[in-house]
Amino acid sequence: MKPMNVSLIGMPSSGKSSVGVILAKVMAYDFVDTDILVQNRTGLTLQEIVDHFGYLRLRQIEADLVLALNCENTVISTGGSVVYSDVAMRHLKAISKVVYLKISFDEMLKRLGDYSKRGLAKPKEQTIEELYKERSELYEKIR
């Protein structure tokens, strides 16, 4: 049987990292969190990248890291904005089973708390509700 990865996509605070660690343990798989890869590669937090270089740069860094993934038997927790990159999503589909962790807007708000320092890859003028609606539509198309 061909080795398989599992990629978790979803809104910030949907549980990608938490569920990913548990899933990797249960499946005896490795675990990769692309948010951590971004921070390790750049030496900056996600928020620092957004503050200094803009949200589009964070999206590009994340997409580039996803495209460079070459792993087997791994659970991959993606950053919430990976869904904006068609090429990154095609790569994830080619190397893994993609699973959308869907949560409601209210649940996301409750879990996020103060999201001002979360490093969300969104335009400053975009509300969190607009972000939720925009990304939810993209995630639904991926399923």
Q: Which residue ranges form the domains of the chain, and what is each CATH number? A: 5-142 (3.40.50.300)
**CB neighbour list of residue 33: distance below 8 Å, 6 or more residues apart:** 16, 17, 20, 77
The pLDDT assigned to 40 comes to 96
pTM: 0.92
Q: How far apart are CA 62 and CA 68, in angstroms?
A: 10
Q: Which helix (H) or strand (E) holds 5?
A: strand 5-9
Instruction: List, for the chain, all residue ranges whose pLDDT scores fall below the cut of 50.
Output: none
Query: Angle 121-66-143 (CA atoms, 0-180°, nearest 5)?
Result: 80
